[in-house]
Amino acid sequence: MDLSRPVAPEPYSLLPAVPSFTLTSDDLTEGAPLGAEFSAEGGSTSPHLAWSGFPDTTQSFLVSMFDPDAPVPSGWWHWNVVDVPLEVTELEQGDGSSDLMLPGAAFHVRNDGGEFDYLGAAPPKGDRPHRYVFAVHALDVDTLDLDPEVSPAVVHFTAVFHTVARATLTATFQLG
């Protein structure tokens, strides 16, 4: 099957502009390929993420991973951690395996694969490299007041009205 299609825009460039802050990782490098362990085939281990320099008005965080290059109109949500407390500025490698690994009141919403955890990179075999955009959204509320059963689209629609800053780190992945 021919998966030729235009390259999707950087997803957050389509939203209202907000300030940025620093997002780093012991496991990821901006623009570089993801390690196999962060892919679905390699075990779906969530990478380490740490953030700093967010605005003083921040009350909580939303952490996500999105593939804008999935061959569907809506892209593909691989990870969404909602209601990360203000005092948490780091997720360790593997924290995306279940809600039991998450701090405080933080929880996962269902990813587009149907599970409540981190789903590793999984582009179609033979497709071009996909971009995986890891984002931390600084929010002006301590909770988005959402149920874990809502869709990632509802999470991000709700969050856009409370986002005071956003940091992203984009890695790539391709199956041979």
Q: pLDDT per residue over 64-83, tens digit each?
A: 999 999 999 999 999 999 99
Q: What is the pLDDT of residue 91?
A: 98
Q: pLDDT per residue over 144-170, tens digit each?
A: 999 999 999 999 999 999 999 999 999
pTM of the model: 0.97
Residues 6+ apart with CB under 8 A from 39: 120, 121, 122, 173
Q: What is the pLDDT of residue 1?
A: 77
Mark out the alpha helices in the chain (DSSP H runs).
152-160
Q: What is the pLDDT of residue 123?
A: 97
Name the token pair of 12.
């957050």
Domains identified in the chain and CATH numbers: 11-173 (3.90.280.10)
pLDDT band at 135 (very low <50, low <70, confident <90, very high): very high
Q: What is the pLDDT of residue 2?
A: 84
Strand-by-strand arrangement of the 49-52 sheet: 22-24, 49-52, 90-91
Whether the per-residue pLDDT at 38 is higher than 80: the answer is: yes
